[in-house]
Amino acid sequence: MSTTHVYVAPGFEEVELITIVDVLRRAGIDTTMVSLTETLDVTGAHNILVHADVPFSAVDGQLADMIVLPGGGPGTQALAASTALHARLHAYREAGKRIAAVCAAPTVLARTGLLEGVAATCFPGCEPVLAEHGAVVQTYQVVTDGHITTSRAAGTSGLFALELVKLLAGEAKATEVGRAMLYL
């Protein structure tokens, strides 16, 4: 079974976090919400409190099959300020693991040097940060280039999450979960 660590930073975008975690779990992917800090209760950008599964230190030295960064303005700022997270992202890249980010969070990947020469998308208005750090900026809703997947915003979270399912569990599982959610 594939494993995923979804990071929960203070000020995260609630729609993104919950959608991603929900869809991955519906697909049977072992998904752990990792607090960016040692505090498990984390408040989102719209004052919704979420209880993360584990603190940052609990997964020190552990690499899941994929690391996911939800966005949100304050959440992205917290992610960008964490040098420990940056080191963890580089460990994922060096191990050939998948890395995913949505909304403004792709700027964290750009600033840590992970998007140089990589096709990526982000929240509208954040493109200059990606371009400044060598990303090949796209305006598609979801972009996968090699081991990195990025997406635009809260409104694309479902498509983004289904792409992550496809990458970790296959297209048939992504279609199955997507159809069940859409009642097709």
> Which are the catalytic amino acids?
103
Report residue 99 CA to chain centroid gap. Answer: 7
Task: Using DSSP, state whether 4 is helix, strand or coil.
Answer: strand
Q: How far apart are CA 106 and CA 115, in angstroms?
A: 8
Burial class (CB in 10 A: 0-12, 13-18, 19+), 54: middle
Per-residue tokens: 106: 């792709």
Q: Which residues contact 7 (CB under 8 A, 6 or more apart)?
A: 33, 34, 35, 36, 67, 68, 69, 70, 79, 85
Ranges of beta strands (E only) in 27-169 are: 30-35, 41-43, 49-51, 66-69, 98-102, 119-120, 136-137, 142-145, 148-151
91's CB contacts (< 8 A; 6+ apart) are: 63
